[in-house]
Each structure stands twice: as C-alpha cells, then as structure tokens.
C-alpha cells in the first residue's frame, strides 16, 4: 500500500525557486518506486507576491498550509535595503509567522563535514554536531518598540522572552538527541550578562540533566563558543541554545563545514500537532539569484531531514548517501544548480 503525504512547497525568493526545483527533483527520484507519494501544493509567497498584491501571508494562506503534513521552503526575503519592501518585513511576516504559528519550537540544524569537502579550518578533526536552536521565543518574538522614533532621543527595545515551558521543551528534545548520538550536550548562552534568561536556561538544563545521567553536560558562553567552533569543533555533539545565538552559530557552523550551500535545517513541531517545515539555513542570496550558481545541496539535505521526520529513514539515507557520494566526487569544476540536482537525483535512482 502506498502512503501519500501532503507537502506544501514554498519556493520563495531569489535562489529559493532554483534550489527547491532540485530538492523536488530528488524527492521525486527517491519516491519513484511508488511506496511513498508526495501530493504537492505550491504556494507563491515572498517578495514577488508582496510586490504584486501587497500580501505577505494571509490567514487563508496559513490555514491552507496548515492542512499539509509537512512544508518544504526555499528561502524568503528580497535584497536587503530594497525600498519597495520597506513596509513588508517578509522575514518576520512570512518565515517567522510560519515558525511561530505552527509552533516550530525546535530548529534543528545538523553540521557535518562530509568526506572530500574542504573546511577553511586547518585541522578541523571530526565535525559532526547538531544545533538545537529554540525556535519560538527569545529576542525573535517581536516584543519591542521604539519611542521618540526618528529623533536623536530615540529609544528602541527588543525584549527577549524566555518561558520555563518553552525552554524546558526544547532542552528535553536536545537531551533526547544527545541520548541517540555521542551523549554530550553543550548549553550555549550568555549567563554572565543575560542573567535572568541565562539563569532560567541553566537551571532547566541542570534539572533535565538529572534525568539523563549518561549525558555529559557542558556550558559555554556564546562568545567562547564561537572560538571553539573554529579551534575545536570536534568537541561538540549537541548544542542547545536560544533563538538568536542559534541563528548566528549555525551560519558559523555552516562556514566551517563546507559552506552555507550545504547546511540543512528543520523547523520541527515534535508532537506533530502542526506540520514541520524543512529549509536550507541560507537565505535568498540576491547576489547570485537567477544565475544557476546556487548550490542546491542544503535544500536537498533538508528533504532528507523531512523524510526522516516522516519516519521514512530508509529514503532519508538514500538521499544522504547520494549527496555524500556527489560531494566526494566534486572536482572543483563549476556546475549549475540544475546539474548538481541532476547528478544527485541520478545517484538516488541508482542506490
Ligand atoms: N530561511 C530564510 O528564508 C532566510 C535565511 C537567511 C536569510 N534570509 C533572507 O535572505 C536575504 C539575503 O540574506 P543574506 O545575504 O544575509 O544571506 P544569504 O544566506 O542569502 O547569503 C549569504 C551569502 O551566502 C551565499 N549563498 C547563500 N546560499 C547559497 C547557496 N545555496 N549556494 C551558494 N552560495 C550561497 C550568498 O550568495 C551570499 O554571498 C535577506 O532578505 C534575508 O533576510 C532568508
Ligand atoms: C531570515 C531570518 C528571519 C532567519 C532567522 O533569523 O531565523 C534566518 O536567518 C535563518 O537562519 O533561518
Ligand atoms: Mg540565519
């Protein structure tokens, strides 16, 4: 009996449609035998839609997306500073609205240095860790405002919200990941300065650690964590951290492990109350959009995370093996986005 999964596809802006075309190509290849079928609905959302209609994400859009089993997203956001988008805030009104409305409290961002991939680090060692970034709280909640805006006396606030409920659930998820991996968890925060939020995170990690005696727990201030990500990334297994620190650390993690074009992510609602969303860590890359220069590997690896989330581990592994083989065979010769997608899809069809 074949299983049908309803997939909402949001290609988005810039290189989003280019990399999503390749991700869908690979999904089609890995499901070609018919055991699993994706019923796809395309949603045209992002800067172009806003410029054409003035809408970013309507209640109807959100409702329609919510009826799907999972979401695949490319990237959203126009060229930073484009005056035509000044009133839109696509990132907040679209991407964050999806993450918040669909309660994607786990932002899962694995980092692996694949065989054959050059790291800018001289001696990277084994790079294989996962960042569990909190996805619905922190400074991202929009709890802020400005007074005397536009005057020399302007005061702007952006309050970081951390709830015991929100921190505990993501910390529990991170410990579960550590149990399945090398049993090491590092909390990254800034407890020496952000004392209220930091204390809450630390106390919750300590309390949950008491239920996981097999997991070694470590703590790093976020500034020191950036040092160790560059000097000794092998020390990391699972990093759990807040929304903003996780955003910054995962671009750095991508940079040390072969580049942002390889970094995949999942915005996960673990209990499945809402559809989870899978996307590359990178953005819409306006500087290379429309030129077939983008590496679609991050989007393709995001489909592996999607398949694993759906319980289709065997299919996820086939995608990962095809990507691993493609990366190992890279010669340095330039390939278009579609050529990379074709090569990986062909390998998937053979494995
Ligand atoms: N998830 C998302 O939708 C998401 C994530 C990050 C940024 N953004 C948005 O994207 C826009 C551009 O942001 P940015 O320039 O800060 O970050 P970016 O990730 O889009 O680009 C940073 C650099 O990485 C390169 N790059 C990105 N993806 C690549 C790929 N697949 N292959 C090769 N090179 C790649 C770009 O060319 C650029 O030089 C902004 O509007 C931003 O808000 C969206
Ligand atoms: C575009 C932006 C809202 C987003 C974030 O900060 O989460 C992006 O940088 C990411 O890493 O997914
Ligand atoms: Mg980011």
Q: Which of 13, 173, 190, 242 is catalytic?
A: 190
281 lines ligand 2 (CB under 6 A): yes
The number of beta carbons lying within 10 Å of the beta carbon of residue 318 is 21
pLDDT of residue 1: 63
pTM of the model: 0.97
pLDDT at 20: 98
Note the ligand closest to the C-alpha atom of 142. 2
Whether 237 is a known active-site residue: answer no
Q: Is 73 left (phi over 0), alpha (psi -120 to 50) or beta?
A: beta
Dump the DSSP string for 146-200: EESTTSTT-EEEEEEE--HHHHHHHHHHHHHHHHHTTSEEEEEE-TTTSHHHHHH
User: Ligand 3 centre and the CA of 248: distance in Å?
Assistant: 6
Query: Apex CA 26: angle with CA 23 and CA 31, to 5°?
Result: 125
Residue 27 host element (H or E): helix 16-30
Closest ligand (CA of 248): 3
What does the alpha-carbon distance between residue 109 and residue 305 come to, in Å, rounded to a whole number? 10
Q: How many Å lie between the centroid of ligand 3 and the Cα of residue 282?
A: 7
The torsion region of residue 21 among left (phi > 0), alpha (psi -120 to 50) and beta comes to alpha
Q: Which pair of structure tokens corresponds to residue 69?
A: 């089993």
Of 50, 105, 140, 173, which one is the catalytic site residue?
140
| ipTM over the 0.90 cut-off | yes
Annotation marks residue 140 as catalytic: yes
- The atom number, within ligand 2, closest to the CA of 77 reads 1
pLDDT tens digits, the chain, 351 residues: what are they?
Answer: 689 999 999 999 999 999 999 999 999 999 999 899 999 999 999 998 999 999 999 999 999 999 999 999 999 998 888 999 988 889 999 999 999 999 999 999 999 999 999 889 988 999 999 999 999 999 999 999 999 999 999 999 999 999 999 999 999 999 999 999 999 999 999 999 999 999 999 999 999 999 999 999 999 999 999 999 999 999 999 999 999 999 999 999 999 999 999 999 999 999 999 999 999 999 999 999 999 999 999 999 999 999 999 999 999 999 999 999 999 999 889 999 999 999 999 999 998
Distance from the alpha carbon of residue 15 to the mean position of ligand 1, in angstroms: 8
Q: What is the reported pLDDT for 173?
A: 98
Ligand 2 centroid, distance to 66 Cα (angstroms): 21
According to the model, what pLDDT value does residue 351 have?
A: 84
CA distance 112 to 209: 25
Is position 232 annotated as part of the catalytic site?
A: no
């Amino acid at each position: 009996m074949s299983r049908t999964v309803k997939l909402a596809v949001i290609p988005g802006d810039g290189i989003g449609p280019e990399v999503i075309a390749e991700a869908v190509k690979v999904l089609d290849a890995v499901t070609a035998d018919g055991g699993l079928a994706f019923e796809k609905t395309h949603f045209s959302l992002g800067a172009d839609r806003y410029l054409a209609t003035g809408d970013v994400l309507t209640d109807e859009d959100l409702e329609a997306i919510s009826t799907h089993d999972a979401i695949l997203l490319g990237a959203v956001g126009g060229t930073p500073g484009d005056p035509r988008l000044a009133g839109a805030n696509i990132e907040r009104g679209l991407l964050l609205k999806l993450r918040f409305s669909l309660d994607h409290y786990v932002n899962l961002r694995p980092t692996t240095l694949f065989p054959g991939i050059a790291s800018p680090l001289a001696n990277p060692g084994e790079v294989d860790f996962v960042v569990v970034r909190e996805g619905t709280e922190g400074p991202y909640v929009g709890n802020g405002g400005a007074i005397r805006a536009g005057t020399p006396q302007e005061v702007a606030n952006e309050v970081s919200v951390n709830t015991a409920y929100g921190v505990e659930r993501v910390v529990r998820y991170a410990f579960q990941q550590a149990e399945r991996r090398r049993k090491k968890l590092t909390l990254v925060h800034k407890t020496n300065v952000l004392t209220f939020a930091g204390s809450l995170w630390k106390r919750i990690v300590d309390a949950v650690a008491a239920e996981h005696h097999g997991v070694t727990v470590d703590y790093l201030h976020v500034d020191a964590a950036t040092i160790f990500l560059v000097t000794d990334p092998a020390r990391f297994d699972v990093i759990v951290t807040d929304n903003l620190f996780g955003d910054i650390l995962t671009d750095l993690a991508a940079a040390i492990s072969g580049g942002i074009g390889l970094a995949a992510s999942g915005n996960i609602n673990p209990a499945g109350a809402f559809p989870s969303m899978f996307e590359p860590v990178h953005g819409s890359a306006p500087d290379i959009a429309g030129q077939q220069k983008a590496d679609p590997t991050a989007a393709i690896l995001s489909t592996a995370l999607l398949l694993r989330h759906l319980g289709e581990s065997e299919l996820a592994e086939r995608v990962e093996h095809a990507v691993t083989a493609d990366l190992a065979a890279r010669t340095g010769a330039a390939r278009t986005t579609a050529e990379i997608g074709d090569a990986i899809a062909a390998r998937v069809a053979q494995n």
